[in-house]
Amino acid sequence: MAAAKRTKVVDGFSVVRGLAQAKQSGVFPKAGDKRPPEDVSSRLPPPTQPGDSPHIVKTIQPTKRTIRCFECGYEFQLSGITRTIYCSKCREKIDLSDYVIEGPWSEQIKTGGSVIIRPTGRLEHVHIKAGNVILEGDMDDRSTIECNQWLELGGQANPNPRQLTMRNLRIAVGKEMRFKYKLQVNHLELLGTLEADVEAAGLVSIRDGGHLKGTVRGAHLQVEEGGGLSARVFIWPQGNPLDTEA
């Protein structure tokens, strides 16, 4: 089983991408290196909001992030940096470490932080629970991923959608995904292509180069110049009237 690397805890989905870039540039130690990792928090981008540019335009340390307890489901805001915290409601201890997986991996992970599975990584009969996950590698049919916040699909990833649970979904640049069943999310962000029947409580954002095919139902839709939409669209800003009892 390949070793996963732990990094200093940082905030936000875009911050996770910054961690990945920082590691590739040599900021983090190689496998087996006992030196503590360098503090890179000052180099990382702020978390991406649905209307933000996908490009990094500044580097600041985020001040708050949302933590959701896996045990009781309670959500609360966290300021600053820490490796562990206790749930404000049930007092369950929550690990906030980040992980980078670069090879076969079969050890359970439950963290309020982030997990990056690189193109060389593979999940084997394992259950991953995390705040954010970037899946660029592979997973067998006995593995599952559960995200409290953002799941990004990119690279070589080709998972069975039924093995994925997420609040928000992001399809990376150049990635093409097809969901055969209804996709229910809060926010959806497309820089790649998605074919699905989408139901979104929040914002569906199609960025430059992104493309949505199928059906979309939700409260808000944003299509940037250069984005594509080949779908039946039903937008109800105050909620889906079909869900309201007469």
Cβ atoms of 15 and 35 within 8 Å: the answer is no
Q: Report the pLDDT value the prediction gives residue 243, as an integer from 0 to 100.
A: 53
Residue 156 sits in the same domain as residue 193: no
Q: Quote the number of domains for the chain.
A: 2
Q: Report the pLDDT value the prediction gives residue 29, as an integer from 0 to 100.
A: 42
Decide if 92 is inside a domain: yes
Q: Report the pLDDT value the prediction gives residue 229, as an integer from 0 to 100.
A: 96
Q: Domain range for residue 25?
A: 5-166
What are the phi and psi torsion angles at 233 (to 5°)?
Answer: -120, 130
131-163 tens-digit pLDDT: 999 999 999 999 999 999 999 999 989 999 999
Q: Final residue of a domain: which of 166, 188, 214? A: 166
Dihedral angle of Cα 124, 126, 127, 131, to the nearest 10 degrees: -60
Cβ atoms of 38 and 23 within 8 Å: the answer is no
Q: Report the pLDDT value the prediction gives residue 30, as an integer from 0 to 100.
A: 43
Q: Report the pLDDT value the prediction gives residue 3, as an integer from 0 to 100.
A: 55
Q: Final residue of a domain: which of 166, 187, 206? A: 166
CA distances for 204 relative to 39, 105, 147, angstroms: 34, 33, 18
Residue stretches of the chain with pLDDT short of 50: 7-11, 27-59, 241-242, 244-246
Residue 162 sits in the same domain as residue 212: no
Q: Report the pLDDT value the prediction gives residue 60, as an integer from 0 to 100.
A: 52
Q: Report the pLDDT value the prediction gives residue 137, as an integer from 0 to 100.
A: 96
Residue 162 sits in the same domain as residue 181: no
Residue 53 sits in the same domain as residue 94: yes
58-80 tens-digit pLDDT: 445 555 777 777 777 667 677 66
Decide if 171 is inside a domain: no
Nearest residue to 236 (alpha-carbon basis) of 216, 222, 215, 218:
218
Decide if 172 is inside a domain: no
